[in-house]
Amino acid sequence: MHKIVILTGAGISAESGLETFRAEDGLWAQHRVEDVATPEGFVRDPKLVVDFYNARRAQAATVEPNAAHRALARLEAEHKGEVIVITQNVDDLHERGGSRAVMHMHGSLKGALCAACDHRWPAAMVMAPGDPCPSCAAPAARPDIVWFGEMPYDMDALFDHLASADIFGAIGTSGNVYPAAGFVAEARRAGAHTLEFNLERSSVGSQFAEHRTGPASQTVTTWVDELLSR
Ligand code: APR
């Protein structure tokens, strides 16, 4: 049975009420990336960074998964073959929507990381600069988010999934950030059928064999219905 690999970005959570990054009024219009999403920014002003993620963690707790998240969970539950969700998102809407095989390549708001010993543990809802690491006790807790310039998580496993995909779908991502933006090329090399779900063509839109244009809550639901009725 077909193995389906899905990549999601901020656009899949937009209809749940979470801002995307590169919309006119998006997160990167309100905050300087170099200040809140780089290791240098964290060293320069840890409180600014920790508060930025405290705000996103609090907001993510107030919103609900939407029909697109739920459709992917249904696909995983009912499709005979393997379904893997690789997400760039740090919210937990895929899990709350019912997906179980979710890989957070850019980390998660639910996680904390020790900048001194790399220990990871469940984050408090509100983190403070200098929180102690429960493992090594260093005052070095940071949000478990992969910042620009840092290596995403699980890269070997991600590329193994892409190499064995029969179908690759990218949902709600602008294709501006690598390595995720390069996943469609990997999937095509593996012979997968590739689909892009977006409101418009992404920066790598021309590399997809098929495009489903419109809000993910509609296009993903329709696609999953088609796949499961085959
Ligand atoms: N349905 C489908 N697509 C949508 C919807 C929607 N309802 N709303 C927005 N989109 C699309 C936009 O057209 C855009 O292409 O979602 C995409 C969001 O793009 P970005 O804001 O760039 O978010 P993303 O691609 O996830 O960013 C990737 O960049 O800043 C880093 O680490 C951060 O994980 C993030 C990465």
pLDDT, average across residues 151-178 = 98
Atom of ligand 1 nearest to the CA of 9: 26
Q: What pLDDT shows up at residue 138?
A: 98
Helices 67-78 and 216-229: crossing angle in degrees, nearest 10, is 20
Q: Which residues are catalytic?
A: 106
pTM attached to this predicted model: 0.98
In order of start, what are the domains of the chain with their CATH numbers? 1-18+65-106+152-230 (3.40.50.1220), 19-62+107-145 (3.30.1600.10)
Q: In this structure, are residues 53 and 109 in contact, taking their beta carbons and an 8 Å threshold?
A: yes
Tens-place pLDDT, residues 17-34: 999 999 999 999 999 999
Longest dimension (CA), the chain: 55
208 lines ligand 1 (CB under 6 A): no
pLDDT, mean of residues 13-20: 97
Nearest CA to ligand 1 atom 9: 11
Nearest-angstrom CA–CA distance, 222 and 18: 22
Predicted confidence (pLDDT) at residue 1 exceeds the cutoff of 90: no
**Are the C-beta atoms of 93 and 16 separated by less than 8 Å?**
yes
Strands of the sheet with 102-104, listed across from one edge? 102-104, 83-87, 4-8, 167-171, 193-198, 210-213
Instruction: Give yes or no for residue 10 CB within 6 A of ligand 1.
Output: yes
Residue closest via CA to ligand 1's atom 13 equals 199
Please say whether the beta carbons of 41 and 35 come within 8 A. yes
215 lines ligand 1 (CB under 6 A): yes
Q: Indicate whether residue 202 lines ligand 1 (CB < 6 A).
A: yes
Q: Is 15 in the pocket of ligand 1 (CB under 6 A)?
A: yes
CA-21 nearest atom, ligand 1 = 21
Average per-residue pLDDT for the chain? 97
